[in-house]
A = this chain, B = another copy of it.
Amino acid sequence: MDRLFKNFQVSCENCNLDEICLPRGLSEQEVKDLSDVIKSNSVLQQGEYIYRQGDRFKGIVAVKSGTAKLVSNDNQGNEHILNILLPGELTGFDGLNQNRHRCSAIALEVMSYCELPAEKLDSLCQMVPGIARELFRHSGESINESQNQVITSKQSAEVKLALFLTNLSDRLKKRGFSSLSFDLPLTREEMGNLLGLTLETVSRMLKHLQNEGLITVRRKHIEINDLKTLKAICSR
């Protein structure tokens, strides 16, 4: 076990995610300073929590490998999936407001992540001039993602699925993964939860998009055959 993950003990300086993660806009020296306070490569199994709703604000978390879901539980115990997180994506900004996490982040498969601890935030912002701006940028990205979800929520079932798939495709591409052939990290039920649909409707709509020749679905595996038309459907 110990041996298995030894080669994962990289710092920000030689991490292959540096172009899409926090270091993107920083100078070499700034990355070094950042690297010193980053807690790197915690590993989780499926279902384990990165942080829990209600926890004291832990810090800003960067997904290194694998995927996670962002989940909010309402007071009746219903689970609302707010988004999924891909490698290179940051989360934790929800804890900045009241110093407590307002939602949970849960591993969808075996995954690893790095962490910029909350207690180091203030001093780091002062020491490393660019870091505050970079953090704001990522925080802004979180806002944009949430706002996308709000707009998505007003669309028909067909458009919701098309938006979900194209958004995932775009984000995978940005992170250097195949954008036309990938596995969904969510079950039909979880997709339904995320999109405000029932699992049956998700199943039917995937079938429908397949019948139109736009995608090929096999269980959780998706092939996008006609991205252009799929994107056209998004604007209906």
Interface residues of A (CB under 8 A from B): 72, 74-76, 80, 82, 93-98, 102-103, 121-122, 125-126, 129, 132-133, 135-144, 146-147, 149-151, 153-154, 196, 235
Contacts and interface: CB of A to CB of B under 8 A. Distances in A.
B93 A139 contact: yes
Contact of A103 (B76, B136, B147): B147
The 7 lowest CB-CB distance pairs between A and B, nearest first, are A97-B140, A96-B140, A146-B146, A153-B153, A96-B136, A154-B196, A125-B132
Given A132-B132, A140-B95, A72 B147 contact: yes
A233 to B, nearest CB: 12
A137 B196 contact: no
Most buried by B among A136, A138, A139, A151: A136
Given A102-B144, A136-B139, A146-B149, 5 more contacts: A74-B235, A97-B143, A102-B147, A126-B129, A154-B196
A98 B137 CA distance: 7
A78 to B, nearest CB: 9
Contacts of A143: 93-94, 96-97, 102, 139, 142-143, 146
Contacts of A136: 93, 96, 121, 135-136, 139
B140 A93 contact: yes
Most buried by B among A97, A103, A135: A97
A150 B154 contact: no
A142 B75 CA distance: 21
B235 A76 contact: yes
Contacts of A153: 149-150, 153-154, 196
A28 to B, nearest CB: 19
Given A140-B95, A154-B153, A122 B133 contact: yes
Contacts of A72: 147, 151
